Structure 1
């Protein structure tokens, strides 16, 4: 199935969007609503990127919302999906040790982000605190 084909679940949404787009005011209102909602979701995702969790997934969800009405967002979303799929396929073809190393690097990155977030937000050095509490 290509990106242009629709699944049965998408058809009612696209049919409804097409009905709204038929009027000039409906089209403009839809464009504004999708633009505001998509931008808000992307902004939330960007705020959440440094923290462990779904920050990037939320950014992609916001881009998917924008892709409903904006051609540039649709092209960017399609490109991003394609690159993410290529990356995941590449990882799946690697030996399990390479996958473990990639996962470990991801965990180290997340640990560093948590440390930096706590240090910047609360002025607490987690390494010092853990050492102190362990009695070292």
Structure 2
């Protein structure tokens, strides 16, 4: 029982940290998956979710690898725009700073 409680608390802490880091550039999702792996030590539902995640990440990676480079470039650009939007929105909501406006002011645009 002590192991189960320890795993639950450790997994929760790692998942919570990962969720906090998702909007920032860095390994937020990787940390969430690490927390899920901790939970999978003791919880069947977490093991199933972890296997589902691994299977889909592998399928996505394999599919992307088979695509022509222009499509990979488009997918990468869309991903970059998405991450930029998440960073902008995070800074705007949490710090009330509009990075686009600040950049325009800085360069005099």
TM bucket normalised to smaller: over 0.9
Where structure 1 has 5 or more consecutive residues not aligned to the other structure, the ranges are 1-27
Structure 2 residue runs without a partner (length 5+) = none
- Any idea what the Cα deviations from partners look like across 1:27-55, whole Å, max 9, x if unmatched? x1111111110111111111111111111
Instruction: Provide the residue aligned with 1:57 in structure 2.
Output: 30
1:126 aligns with 2:99: yes
Q: TM-score, normalised by structure 1?
A: 0.76
Question: Normalized against structure 2, the TM-score is what?
Answer: 0.94
C-alpha RMSD of matched pairs (Å): 1.0
Count matched residues: 109
Kindly indicate whether structure 1 or structure 2 has the higher relative contact order, using CA contacts under 8 Å at least 6 residues apart: 2
Q: What displacement does 1:112 show?
A: 0.9
Q: What is the CA-CA distance between 1:68 and the residue it aligns to?
A: 0.7
Q: How far off its partner does 1:126 sit?
A: 1.4
Shift of 1:111: 1.0
* Corresponding residue for residue 68 of structure 2: 95
Are 1:109 and 2:74 counterparts? no
Query: Which structure shows the bigger proportion of residues in helix conformation?
Result: 2
Return structure 1 stretches of 4+ with deviation > 3 angstroms: none
> Which structure is larger by alpha-carbon Rg, 1 or 2?
1
1:1-136 to 2 correspondences below 5 Å = 28-136=1-109
